[in-house]
Chain A
Amino acid sequence: MQLSKNVKQMKFMQRRYGQANAAEEEKALMSKVDEDHWVLDLPDLDVKESKFEVEDSFVPFENLQFGRFSFKGMNPVIEKLMANEKAKVQAEESDAREKEIAVSDEEMAARYSSLIGTIGKKFTKKRNRTGTMEESDIKKMKFMKPSDDD
């Protein structure tokens, strides 16, 4: 369901929708800036698919941090900002780690297909459980006479 923009702007909706809309709003801001610029009225050049992507800034290449820091309570606002940033980085790292160690869909499917019996057992009552067991299992559970060497 799509909520209207006015509803999303209300204070109590900010937490939920504020983050999601940030990128969109940035785009809108940029397009407004672009509209302010004068351009020649020419047909659009067809952009050829290029192998290279050119970027002027060092920031994405060297993973540079945001440039404001505060230590030992010099500026509590900035310290809060730093803590948020740190939490974000850590969350990203743990997400990446999880992705690495998580079980893939194929693995999951293979495992479950071999586990049908085990899971099935969960849904039978205890009394009926012997019925689902195989003959060999019943044979194995015969009474074993204790040795009388004492």
Chain B
Amino acid sequence: MAASMTNADVVLPGDVLTDRLKEITNKKVRLGPGLRWQSKDVVACKCGVLKSREDHAFWIDNHQRRYIPAKGESIIGVVSLKAGDIFRVNIGSNLPAALPYLSFEGATKRNRPNVQIGDLVYAKLLVANRDMEPELVCIDGSGQSNGLGVLSREGFMFKCSLHLCRKILSPDCSLLRVLGKKIPLEVTVGMNGRIWLRCRSVNDTICAMNAILAAEYTPEQNLKSMVYKIFGGVAAV
């Protein structure tokens, strides 16, 4: 185990990381995804790279396609059933999520939102417990949608790894800015490994999708040339 701790920061499920956190006394330590706190020990429960921040936050960054709901995350779901006063939404996790029809902007008991089976919704997880049905909302606390809600039917959705979604949403990643300079497009990235695209032409959509998928293993400095290559041009350096 000692080898894995010194060898970069790769950890395996079951690795005890308490020693590493020992030097931090009197400060509160934040444990993120992939880390568990079990009877005095901090244990890794995923294989991946252990990451940390100066403010004593630790988490494991890993490759994963299975979505595990976490409270407060924004996801893209597919409406699969209308059941009474809720919609059942497939969010790619072990259980379908519930989306009450009242949690849309401007919805009242009389004025139901126009959501059909098969529609895509960009929604936020309000409740995400381990063994319970997750609950979604499409409004914030003040009743405004702020970008949440039904996604237009003109778009195209594809799946990717959760790691790629996080990479795209990171403030340091320039992929979307580069794409946005090239073509007009609208992108919605769900934390559950689903990306929705809307472009002016089918050709653009295919190119944008290829660029996004190729970005997973492209380093930041090569992103621009990669995008220009896919769109059949030469990058102006």
Tell me the residues in window 129-160 of chain B with beta carbons closer than 8 Å to chain A beta carbons: 135, 140-143, 146-147
CA distance A57 to B190 in the complex (A): 13
Tell me the residues in window 169-220 of chain B with beta carbons closer than 8 Å to chain A beta carbons: 169-171, 176, 179-181, 183-191, 198-200
Candidates A18, A21, A52, A72; contact of B183 at CB < 8 Å = A72
In the complex, are the beta carbons of A71 and B184 less than 8 A apart? yes
In the complex, are the beta carbons of B141 and A29 less than 8 A apart? yes
B90 within 8 A of A: no
A75 within 8 A of B: yes
B211 CB to nearest A CB, Å: 13
Candidates A25, A52, A58, A61; contact of B141 at CB < 8 Å = A25
Which of B29-37, B78-86, B106-114, B225-233 is found at the contact surface with chain A? B29-37
Number of interface residues of B (CB under 8 A): 52
Given contacts A53-B31, A72-B184, A72-B185, contact A66 B71 (CB under 8 A): no
In the complex, are the beta carbons of A61 and B53 less than 8 A apart? yes
Of all chain B residues, the one with the shortest Cβ separation from A50 is B37
In the complex, are the beta carbons of B191 and A71 less than 8 A apart? no
B127 within 8 A of A: yes
In the complex, are the beta carbons of A58 and B32 less than 8 A apart? yes
Most buried by B among A21, A28, A60: A60
CA distance A81 to B146 in the complex (A): 7
Given contacts A57-B70, A68-B122, contact A18 B142 (CB under 8 A): yes
In the complex, are the beta carbons of B135 and A57 less than 8 A apart? no
When distances are taken between beta carbons in the complex, the residues of chain A under 8 Å from B32 are: 55-58, 61
When distances are taken between beta carbons in the complex, the residues of chain A under 8 Å from B122 are: 67-68
Of all chain A residues, the one with the shortest Cβ separation from B176 is A69
In the complex, are the beta carbons of A61 and B176 less than 8 A apart? no
B153 CB to nearest A CB, Å: 14
